[in-house]
Amino acid sequence: MDVKTRNALIVGGGRVGRRTAMNLTDSGYAVTIIERDEAKKAAIPGHLIGRVIVGDGTDLETFESANPTMADVVAGLTNDTETNLAVCELASELVPEARTLARIGADGEEHYAYLDHVDNVVYPAAAGAVVAAEQVTDDANTVSPPEIS
């Protein structure tokens, strides 16, 4: 049986983008990250994550250099909601069959999930609050941070 490798394109290689990429890689995805900050790029373990491109993920030339037509999912995971929405819009225009995911950064931005070019939103602060509340009430096992090599 021939199994197709799933591909993810992530814009934003900070904490959320880097950890998401590592989790996806562990799940068998081929991952490409676009990160504009050279220092953040240096913190991305290239031997664990596929390709890392330095540049602005909302720039058409940079975005196309990441070969988005191969992506099954495109995720805008920077710390700027507007950038993430722009990434999703660009992806929906160039790769309409790819799922899109936008990281949001503030309460009240959940409505962005209803935009035509955004399939899903993720709000790290809310997700972290759920885990913290579960830990406080002992409803969850201890979550250990993944090892970063």
User: Does 148 reside within a domain?
Assistant: no
Does the residue 138 lie in any domain? no
pLDDT digits (tens, 9 = 90+) for 99-149: 999 999 888 887 877 788 999 999 887 788 888 888 888 754 555 666 665
Is 129 part of any domain?
A: no
Residue 77 lies in a domain: yes
| Residue 137 maps to a domain | no
Domain interval for residue 88:
7-123
Question: pTM (2 decimals)?
Answer: 0.84
- Which CATH number fits the domain that encloses residue 48? 3.40.50.720
Q: What is the number of structural domains in the chain?
A: 1
Cα separation of 144 and 45, whole Å? 19
Q: Quick check: is 1 in a domain?
A: no
pLDDT single digits (tens) 72-105: 999 999 999 999 999 999 999 999 999 999 999 8
- Residue 87 falls inside a structural domain: yes
